[in-house]
């Protein structure tokens, strides 16, 4: 039986940035509201400041129609965000002192949901995702190039697969078990051509098939 190379490739490579990046807009300081009880307040933006007047949190609707809650540290650096896009996607993000993203959790409009973890250089290192069809995958990335190097996934039908990529992000080795229990192994060269494979085959004897 011929081996189907890269049968699980697309499930193991999650597109980076599906949750969204750091805030690009700068917020202006808010004017203090008169101290009185109100039942309802409507505005396009709210700014929370500390006792020194330093901005610590903002709640606004961005120019792209996104609901955005951002929280800042004492130095005014954006450290956490909670967003809801007008297309239905949502995310929670955490950022380092340098403004680079560290952790992103969210769901895209397509229904794909997951967790992305980034290194100190801003490159994605780990991604755990689940699709709308219940296909789950874990992808590990090269900390230098940012390319995928290893992927572990389970298809919606229950078949697991392990894929290893080279330094250029090309699929070089795959190990899988089909839903009928038959395992398979495939190796490929740098051009993507299969060079070896070990599919399970039934053994035949004089008395018939075992």
Range with the largest mean pLDDT of 16-30, 144-158, 193-207: 144-158
In a domain, 90, yes or no: yes
In sequence order, the 6+-apart residues with CB closer than 8 A to the CB of 149 are 140, 141, 142, 164, 165, 167, 169
Confidence of residue 36 (pLDDT cuts 50, 70, 90): low
CATH number for the domain including 83?
A: 3.90.930.1
Q: What percent of the chain has pLDDT over 90?
A: 54
In a domain, 193, yes or no: yes
**Given this model, what pLDDT does residue 197 score?**
85
State which residues form the domain around 106: 9-13+45-201
pLDDT above 80 (res 205): no
In a domain, 174, yes or no: yes
In a domain, 81, yes or no: yes
In a domain, 1, yes or no: no
Rounded to a whole number of angstroms, the distance between the first and last alpha carbons of the chain is 17
Instruction: Report which of residues 92 and 40 the model is more confident about.
Output: 92
Distance CA 176, CA 125 (A): 23
- The total number of structural domains that make up the chain: 1
Does pTM surpass 0.75? no
In a domain, 31, yes or no: no
CB 159 within 8 A of CB 12: no
* Average pLDDT in the chain: 79
In a domain, 30, yes or no: no
Average of per-residue pLDDT across 159-177:
93
CB 83 within 8 A of CB 73: no
In a domain, 120, yes or no: yes
């Amino acid at each position: 039986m011929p081996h189907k190379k890269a049968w699980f490739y697309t499930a193991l490579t999650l597109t980076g940035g599906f949750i969204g990046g750091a805030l690009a807009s700068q917020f202006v300081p808010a004017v203090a509201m008169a101290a009185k009880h109100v039942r309802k307040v409507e505005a396009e933006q709210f700014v929370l400041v500390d006792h020194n007047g330093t901005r610590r949190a903002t709640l606004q609707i961005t120019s792209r129609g996104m609901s955005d809650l951002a929280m800042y540290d004492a130095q005014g650096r954006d450290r956490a965000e909670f967003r809801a896009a007008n297309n239905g996607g949502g995310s929670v993000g955490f950022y380092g002192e340098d403004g680079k993203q560290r952790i992103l959790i969210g769901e895209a409009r397509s229904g794909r949901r997951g967790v992305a973890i980034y290194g100190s250089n801003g490159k994605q290192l780990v991604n755990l995702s689940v699709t709308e069809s219940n296909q789950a995958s874990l992808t590990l990335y090269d900390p230098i190039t940012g390319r995928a190097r290893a992927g572990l996934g389970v298809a919606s039908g229950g078949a697991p697969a392990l894929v290893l990529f080279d330094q250029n992000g090309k699929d070089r080795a795959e190990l899988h078990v089909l839903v009928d229990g038959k395992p398979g192994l495939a190796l490929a060269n740098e051009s993507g051509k299969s060079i070896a494979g070990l599919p399970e085959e039934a053994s035949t004897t004089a008395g018939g098939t075992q």
